[in-house]
Amino acid sequence: MPKLSHTFTPVLFALAATGAFAGENDAQMQAFLEASVLPWAQDAAILDAVAAQNAKTGGYDQATIDQLDTTWRGEVGDPGSALISSVIGNAASDFLRQQVAATGGQITEIIVMDAKGLNVAASGVTSDYWQGDEAKHSDTFGVGAGAVHYGEIEFDESSQTYQAQISFTLVDPATGAPVGAMTVAVDGAALL
C-alpha cells in the first residue's frame, strides 16, 4: 500500500493516474526547488564528491559503464555489496540523508550523478547505477548549466509514494562549468 501523507490523497491519486499534472505543477516544483533544495545543493560535500568521481570515471567507455550498471543491479538487496556501499556509504550520501530528514518527508529520495550519469551519492539504494540514459541526466547535464527537468507525479515502487522528480545541473562554482546532476524526488502531496 502506498504511503500517502496528505488529506488530498484521493485527488492526487486520480490526477496522477490520468497524467493531469503533466507540466501543470512546474511552478510549484520550481518554488520547492528554490526554497528547499538550492540553498544546500552546491555544498562542498556534494561538489567535492562529484569532482573526485569525475576524475575517476572521466575515461570510462560505454562498455565499462554498462558493466558497472549490471554489477550494481546484481548487488541490489545485498547490504555488503562493494559498489553500492561505495555510493550510499560515503560522506556525500550521509549529507543527502540529512537533507531528506530535514524536510520531514517532503523529499523522498536524492541522487547525485557525475558527468557520465553514474551515481556519486544517494540517500538510499537506487535500482540502477547509471542514470545517463534517463532524462534526469540527459535533460540537465546534457543541456548545460541552469538546466532543470521536471518529472510528472508518478507512483514510485521503491518508495511506495506518489512523487515527482526535480533534476538539475550541478556546476563548478568557480567556472560555471557543468560537473554533474542532481535528482530530488518530492512527495506529490508537497506540491499541492
Residue pointed to by grid coordinates 491519486 = 13
Q: Say if residues 96 and 125 touch (Cβ distance below 8 Å).
A: no
Would the pLDDT of 184 be above 70?
Answer: yes
The answer for residues whose C-beta is within 8 angstroms of residue 100's C-beta and 6 or more apart is 107, 108, 109, 110, 123
The answer for residues whose C-beta is within 8 angstroms of residue 27's C-beta and 6 or more apart is none
Domains and CATH numbers, the chain: 9-191 (3.30.450.20)
pLDDT (0 to 100) of residue 23: 65
pLDDT (0 to 100) of residue 156: 80
pLDDT (0 to 100) of residue 145: 96
Write the pLDDT tens digit of every residue in 112-155. Answer: 999 999 999 999 999 999 999 999 999 999 999 999 999 998 88
Write the pLDDT tens digit of every residue in 13-32. Answer: 333 333 434 467 888 899 99
Would the pLDDT of 80 be above 90?
Answer: no
Q: Distance from CA of residue 102 to its chain's centroid?
A: 16
Q: What is the DSSP letter of 117?
A: S
3-state secondary structure at position 72: helix
Q: Give the end-to-end CA distance of the chain in Å, rounded to a whole number.
A: 21
